[in-house]
Structure 1
């Protein structure tokens, strides 16, 4: 990749990301060759008609690429299942995230599922965890500890009503889908605030009720995201880094931690730089996947039995010894200084954690 190509790619993507509209149906204004020529002039590069490699500013459209589970069949429907879609986008209808949300509602409803949507922006969900989340007296009068106080409030039925409402939706759901655009290599603040406030201790986790022993072991969870950058930018050699590393805190640290059976993520790469046909293709692939989502295999995480609690919950001696003979790490997080297992957080057929 030439320096001019890198500059053009970042110049094309930066305005969209800074405005927080990664994944909108309406593409950001494309300056095309003009912006590229300006960048090449600033970098004293040759006046080429295109970048040395494809970039969003130069190409009329990106190829339709999506991360999805392969080999699924349509034998099992979701009749009688309950689905919760937690949706975080400011534009519920005229955005690509909105299109994916609506497609999921329709596809799953046709299966006989009961689908409920928590539209966080439309409902003005409060993402800030504060003392106001606990009704009545606190457990401790000395210092405020949010985790301990919300755990006690959950046991006594003293959490604020908006938290109670969301917890009931999660409790009723067989599948929870989180739909949002990738913001700063993570989720929008309002979605993170939902995680902080709704997944309280006692309700969503405890000790030792966590990971595969967590409260939600009979529930499935799936992250569906859109990106501003191309798929190649999120590869092991891409400028943004490996998407598996980005997904790890969300899928391991939030969903799997609470016991969810985590399905492979649905990643819609750079829809803002696609023509309408490309975006329709991404939606169609999402609908096709949802037709058999109930029989999908889950992502693999390192089971608790591999960790030694006497040594501070690190990998036990037998696992470390076995890992020493392997060419790659166990998972994205438990890599033991070895190369990361490819696709550990993006494909359910990865066997690295076995």
Structure 2
């Protein structure tokens, strides 16, 4: 078994950094090898564009999909992107560790999706979803929020956490991953706990760390999030009229 962590936080000493460290230690104790992409530390360039492609498929007009496919075929893909693809290819489990900023992942992680999940080699019009390139591999989000858990409930002011994470989960499913339910560490900025209750807050953080380690020790029993696949859709890409989910 091999796991790869994609770490998307600008401070290695942050709580996100602590969770990434716990993941490495816990998985290593199971005999799993672990590698890490430190997107900020490695200065990953998040902006897809012409500057990344010296030998262009079309010098007159930039199409990201066309240039990604051409660079793959010509073996002129940017080195940082190829490095990330190689890391993902070697992994059986991919963990994305990041804070929830503005109801989504940090921009550096979104840019990582834009540049690393390249058209041609990693997905095509047909090779995606349950027939995607990474089928058989698992992916797991480990996410931190500033607000407490109640605010991310279905009627909470932060918005339902399942809906906020859905685009990321679905993108991973799009690439073929079996997506495990996320680990969400709520309230790491204090969660309304007053400064004079600092000891209570520290206990809260310690509990989250223990919960993350426990989760990592029970991954084999985790069932992936269910998604629809090619067999569920009609020729227009819509859920079949006779599909059981139509009656759920």
Query: Which TM-score tier does this pair reach, normalised by the shorter chain?
Result: over 0.9
Please point out which of 65, 77, 84 is paired with 1:166. 84
Instruction: Give 2:52's aligned residue.
Output: 133
TM-score, normalisation: structure 2: 0.92
TM-superposed CA distance for 1:323, in Å, is: 4.5
Instruction: Give 1:219's aligned residue.
Output: 137
Instruction: Give 1:314's aligned residue.
Output: 238
Instruction: Give 1:152's aligned residue.
Output: 70
Runs of 5+ consecutive residues of structure 2 not aligned to the other structure: 192-200
TM-superposed CA distance for 1:317, in Å, is: 1.9
Instruction: Give 1:262's aligned residue.
Output: 179
Q: 1:280/1:158 Cα in 2 relative to 1: closer, same or farther (>3 Å)?
A: same
Q: 1: distance between equivalents of 2:68 and 2:48? A: 10
Instruction: Give 2:36's aligned residue.
Output: 117
Instruction: Give 2:23's aligned residue.
Output: 104
Q: 1:307/1:106 Cα in 2 relative to 1: closer, same or farther (>3 Å)?
A: same
SS of 1:241's equivalent in the other structure is coil
TM-superposed CA distance for 1:133, in Å, is: 2.2
Q: 1: distance between equivalents of 2:136 and 2:54? A: 30
Is it true that 1:273 corresponds to 2:187 in the alignment? no
TM-superposed CA distance for 1:324, in Å, is: 5.1
Q: Runs of 4+ in structure 1 displaced over 4 angstroms?
A: none
Please point out which of 75, 78, 82 is paired with 2:2. 82
Question: What is the number of equivalent residue pairs in this alignment?
Answer: 239
Of 159-168 and 287-296, deviating more is 287-296
Of 209-218 and 152-161, deviating more is 152-161
Q: 1:324/1:293 Cα in 2 relative to 1: closer, same or farther (>3 Å)?
A: closer
Q: Is contact 1:132–1:160 with CA below 8 Å preserved after alignment?
A: no
Q: Is contact 2:7–2:37 with CA below 8 Å preserved after alignment?
A: yes
Instruction: Give 1:77's aligned residue.
Output: none
Runs of 5+ consecutive residues of structure 1 not aligned to the other structure: 1-80, 327-354
Q: Deviations over 1:127-154 (max 9, x none)?
A: 1111122242x21233110111111211
Instruction: Give 1:177's aligned residue.
Output: 95
Please point out which of 213, 228, 238 is paired with 1:287. 213
Q: Is contact 2:97–2:143 with CA below 8 Å preserved after alignment?
A: yes
